Amino acid sequence: MSLNLPEKKRSSLSTSPARAICLSFFAVIAVGTLLLTLPYSSQDGQFTNVVDALFTATSATCVTGLVVFDTATKWSVFGQVTIIALIQIGGLGLLTITTFFNIAIGKRLGFRSMQRAQESINVDGVMDIDKMIRIVVKASFAVEGIGAAILMLVFVPKYGVHGIFISIFLAISAFCNAGFDILGFEEKFISLTNYNGSPIVIIVITFLIIIGGLGFIVWADLLDYRKTKKLMLHSRVVLLMTALLIVSGTVMFLVCEWYNPATLLDMPLGEKLSAAYFQSVSTRTAGFNTIDITQMFPVTKTFTMVLMFIGAAPGSTGGGIKVTTISVVVATVISVIRGREDTIIMKRKVAKNTVYKSLAIVMLAGLLVIIAGSVVYFSMPLSTLETGIDSMFEAVSAFATVGLSSGVTALANIPSKLVLTLTMFTGRVGPISFVLSLAANNGIKKNQIMPDGKIMVG
Amino acid sequence: MSLNLPEKKRSSLSTSPARAICLSFFAVIAVGTLLLTLPYSSQDGQFTNVVDALFTATSATCVTGLVVFDTATKWSVFGQVTIIALIQIGGLGLLTITTFFNIAIGKRLGFRSMQRAQESINVDGVMDIDKMIRIVVKASFAVEGIGAAILMLVFVPKYGVHGIFISIFLAISAFCNAGFDILGFEEKFISLTNYNGSPIVIIVITFLIIIGGLGFIVWADLLDYRKTKKLMLHSRVVLLMTALLIVSGTVMFLVCEWYNPATLLDMPLGEKLSAAYFQSVSTRTAGFNTIDITQMFPVTKTFTMVLMFIGAAPGSTGGGIKVTTISVVVATVISVIRGREDTIIMKRKVAKNTVYKSLAIVMLAGLLVIIAGSVVYFSMPLSTLETGIDSMFEAVSAFATVGLSSGVTALANIPSKLVLTLTMFTGRVGPISFVLSLAANNGIKKNQIMPDGKIMVG
Ligand SMILES: [K+]
Ligand SMILES: [K+]
């Protein structure tokens, strides 16, 4: 009896990070929904449907970027400020929470920087974590500020005072990998399609996206590089995979869409390259677009789904199953084919429980996307021919918090909207809570010892 | 230098089982293709197109059952005998080869029965393995013989002397999980659709399918049960999963197709149950059908693809990724969610390299199916509306050596036929060679020792 009590206490402690994240996201979304339903938030001064407000608030807080309305033409300045505030809270909030727990469980994870941070934390772990988070938040604001300032060079000459707001909105949205924009007054749902010829916009936005998507661990490691002259395996994998995926994505968009009259065909060579590069960066997981996603060939949509599903780095503003997860899975397959006992990445052995965790994440994510895509497919009116691939596209986009749309969201009925809302929430909050609750569990729970059992597979 | 030479010798030895299987299958298919092109093989006495003969020979040898022609109306008795011979050779051949190598690597795998067999094998391992294989082959013939004899009770009164041939053909085809039939003279491509009201046919065929799909290890274990009063983990998992999948498949077909006028709707209750049960057993991986597959609802096709992909047991006449593989993957996901260090099935710890192998099999199989399905999709004429799901269906069916057709094979052009041929071959030979070459590799190659590297996922 006296043994049971502490066990229970421990177990409730171990699930609390996950619960805390879910509840705090839920609270932010609820407030956002309330604000967005109000007449002040709309340009027409009317109340907005609760399902649509919920969808928009969830999409902003989970930094997804799927929209049922064009942001610039539907929402008032108040509504747009609400949306960008939700993006900033959702994007940085999750990043700081994961940073907090990464530090708290740092010793177990064994990251060098984490360990160093851990050493300076006092028993109740409040003081220095606060400091750490303040540094992360300040650094993020600084990066967003620089980005916004440069963007103003383009948007202030073009749109005057309103250009300042546009620049700030875009910088926050890009750094948080949210993909919302307020350029729809140029043409509804146009996103950045008009800016393929503007190197400043393309470069600033993609840099903000990439930095936001690298995640806290990589930033800390890169800042330490001058001193240590070494990068952790984690950072090397994230940086290599990011570079590899950007280049291969650019080539893929160029090859697949070169002859598509609705996207690349009529662009001059420079804009072709610029659009393909931008789309490659943005597809994992920012969700801006410089080419018309709905008009892409099915084969491009298929590859785009793969890029979206993979996503960015853990502990970043980006989504998806994460570049490290797919790296571990691919490395495991290669190791098995080569007859190795262990998963090897860059001459380092990956721990068994990291491999198991990656397997679980891929399987659960795949299952979620297939279920969500199927529900959307079967609840959609059969008006469009390609609804099969398009429904799956929308589900992947929602799960991976990308926000690119194949056009399904704009046509979606209430059940589809609710399913996509749930998918956005699960996609943003789910994997992280999942990993955190595990990390917590593993440190605390004793494993039952089981006898070995042999089983033949394949 | 003196260290390198034995290494090379070992490495060529370790890949030889896989190569032996590939080459022997290749030889059988080549002879089959030659025979089937000849005018003697066709009812119209004309030469048959090489691509179609290759497709049919591969489908028979790999016990897949996809057909470009109706077997009963296209091929002469000589052609039909060629096909059933290819099925018997392909089905039992692979089973005996895997049995051979299971015994050869038995010690490493640690199966009780295998170990016992191993003990009685002399150094060059020829004598007793020969005996073992002869027992397997004799037992298989006995089961097929009994099945054929009972089927004659139905088919001889109905079709006279031809009924004997039909019964033997069906018994072999069912035990080998091939799914070929010669009932197309009743109506082209009708399969067993006319026999939902015949309990003898339904029961005999499903029992032959189930027994064939359990695999050698389970047979040996069940035969030992009287002595040992215990079943190995492997056998318990195979038996439980087989039962579970049959029941849930039956329920799925009943629920999804109950109101489909093209399948279950107009059947009396008994036939509804009989057809759903039969289709559930046959979908993994025999490939006979008692309902019209092409007319099933998309949702049923989707679940059918899942059943096909899972398949039967390892070392059996069935295909797919295997019930044990999916069990290990699901158990790993559950273990990760529960925060366990190890994969636990039925209170037994599953070895790490079994988990890695399962992960690799699922990923490679998924990749193969997606690539094959996409190639078929993009090479098919866009005449049918549902080609997306139907192409994927056909690819899964070919990979998992099921042979159920959504109608794509009948319409397929030459590139699609060649892709499906390759998929059938890879699906039947690939996973087994793959696992065998690994098993051999693992036993021989020393693993380089790598330092641990930490990586964060999800
Ligand atoms: K996004
Ligand atoms: K079959």
At residue A2, the pLDDT reads 35
User: B111 and A456: CB-CB below 8 Å?
Assistant: yes
Distances (CA, A) of B339 to A219, A360, B333, B364: 29, 11, 10, 27
A–B: how many Cβ contacts below 8 A? 209
Give the residue-averaged pLDDT of B170-197.
Answer: 89
**In B75-130, at which residue ranges do the beta strands (DSSP E only) sit?**
none
Most confident of A121-125, A286-290, B335-339: A286-290
| B436 pLDDT higher than 70 | no
Among the partner residues B233, B360, B457, nearest to A336 by beta-carbon distance = B360
pLDDT in tens, A23-54: 888 899 999 999 999 999 999 989 999 999 99
Residue A432 has pLDDT above 70, yes or no: no
- Domain map of chain B by residue range? 13-442
CB within 8 Å: B342 and A314: no
Write down the pLDDT at residue A261: 87
Most confident of A285-289, B50-54, B95-99, B431-435: B50-54
Name the minimum distance, in Å, from the CA of B77 to any CA of chain A. 36
Q: Compute φ and ψ for A453, nearest 5 degrees.
A: -130, 140
At residue A240 the predicted structure's pLDDT band, cuts being 50, 70 and 90, is very high
Identify the pLDDT of residue A162. 92
Taking the C-alpha atoms of residue A260 and residue A192, their distance in angstroms, rounded to an integer, is 19
Among the ranges A190-194, B78-82, B432-436, which has the highest mean pLDDT value? B78-82
Mean per-residue pLDDT over chain A, rounded: 82
Q: What is the pLDDT of residue A104?
A: 58
Q: In which residue are the tokens 């160093």 written?
A: A116
The partner residue sitting opposite A354, judged by closest CB among B302, B344, B457, is B457
Chain A residues in contact with B437 (beta carbon < 8 A): 339
**pLDDT tops 60 at residue B372:** yes
Under 8 Å between Cβ of B427 and B401: yes
Give the pLDDT band (50/70/90) at residue B104: low
CA B24 to chain centroid: 18
Query: Is the pLDDT higher at A21 or at B263?
Result: B263
Residue A363 with chain B: CB contacts under 8 Å? 329, 333
Widest Cα–Cα separation across chain A: 76
**How far apart, in whole angstroms, are the C-alpha atoms of residue B330 and residue A147?**
45
The whole-number pLDDT of residue B316 equals 84
CB < 8 Å to A375, chain B:
none
- Please classify residue B359 by burial: count the beta carbons closer than 10 Å to its beta carbon, then call 0-12 exposed, 13-18 middle and 19+ buried: buried
- Taken as a whole, chain B contains a residue count of 458
Q: Which of A14, A328, A342 sits opposite B455 (nearest CB)?
A: A328
Lowest mean pLDDT among A219-233, B104-118, B234-248: B104-118
Q: Is residue B170 predicted with pLDDT exceeding 90?
A: yes
> What pLDDT does residue B384 have?
52
CB A100 within 8 A of CB A129: yes
List CB contacts (< 8 A) between A301 and chain B.
none
Q: Which pair of tokens denotes residue A205?
A: 């936005």
pLDDT of B76: 93
What's the pLDDT at A318? 85
Cβ within 8 Å, pair B437-A343: no
For residue B346, CA distances in Å to B153, B327, B328, B338 come to 42, 11, 11, 15
- The pLDDT value given to residue B446: 44
Mean pLDDT of chain B: 82
B348-350, strands of its sheet edge to edge: A452-453, B348-350, B344-345
pLDDT over 70 (residue B17):
no
Q: Which phi and psi (to 5°) does residue A344 adopt?
A: -115, 125
Query: How remote is the CA of residue B402 from the centroid of ligand 2, in Å?
Result: 4
Instruction: Kindly determine whether residue B441 and residue A339, on different chains, have CB atoms separated by under 8 Å.
Output: yes
Nearest Cα residue in chain A from B444: A339
| CA B56 – CA B65 distance, rounded (Å) | 8
Residue A340 confidence (pLDDT) above 70:
yes
CB contact under 8 A, B350 and A325: no
Residues of B in contact with A303 (CB under 8 A): none
Tell me, what DSSP letter sits at residue B75? B
Check residues A450 and B15 and name the one with the higher pLDDT. A450
Nearest by CB: B438 against A324, A339, A358: A339
Looking at the CA of A174, name the nearest ligand: 1
Residues in chain A closer than 8 A to B349 (CB atoms): 450-453
- Residue B4 above 70 pLDDT? no
Range of lowest pLDDT (A33-42, A63-72, B221-230, B343-352) = B221-230
The partner residue sitting opposite A457, judged by closest CB among B322, B348, B458, is B322
User: What burial class does residue A415 get, using C-beta atoms within 10 Å of its C-beta: 0-12 exposed, 13-18 middle, 19+ buried?
Assistant: middle
Q: Do B445 and A339 touch (CB under 8 A)?
A: yes
Phi-psi region of A189 (alpha: psi -120 to 50; beta: other; left: phi over 0): left
Contact A438 B315 (CB under 8 A): no
What was the pLDDT predicted at B383? 54
DSSP one-letter string for B432-450: HHHHHHHHHHHHHPPPPP-
- Residue A333 is nearest to which of B338, B355, B364, comparing CB atoms? B364
pLDDT at B449: 65
Which of B107, B241, B436, B455 is best to mutate for the A interface (most A CBs within 10 A)?
B455
Q: What are phi and psi of B349, to 5 degrees?
A: -80, 130
Q: Which of A118-132, A180-194, B68-82 has the lowest mean pLDDT?
A: A118-132
Q: Do A458 and B346 touch (CB under 8 A)?
A: no
CA distance B341 to chain A (A): 6
pLDDT, average across residues A151-159 = 93
- Average pLDDT rounded to a whole number, residues A281-287: 89
Q: Which residues of B touch A356 (CB under 8 A)?
A: 332, 335-336, 343, 355
